[in-house]
Structure 1
């Protein structure tokens, strides 16, 4: 699975999707100092317009993946693909 550079641009409310916390966060000084700067996925401030994060993304997205709608990005990251091995396990142990 390739590492994808996610460029998360702040929306009008100053929100971005945070993969580490799996939620929408207000990208302010506290968020950046408390979470972003300490996060292994952190890749920079996106030119002051948001935050860049690099992580393995199972989705079929471009690289870089530019996010302008954090609500949609959150929703899309809640969907998980279920492969045949998982289904087999459910049949055997379910």
Structure 2
């Protein structure tokens, strides 16, 4: 499992100009099962994606195709972890 942080490196106006394309990209990877959760950071300086993948290189290739990354408005950082404990309602996360 991976925690991906997106950090905006350009003004929000430039980020917002790519938001529709970014949302399409996110939905594609939810449909594929790669993404489990995502949302904005508070304060709004980037975002977070929870991804299930055993293939860091493959995930990084997907992240490189994010319109935010391709448009030069955000950078990504990836943290891999193995969930060992979860709340009962999200125990499925331990299988990723």
With structure 2 as the length reference, what TM-score do the two structures score? 0.29
Q: Say which one has the larger Rg.
A: 1
More helix by share: 2
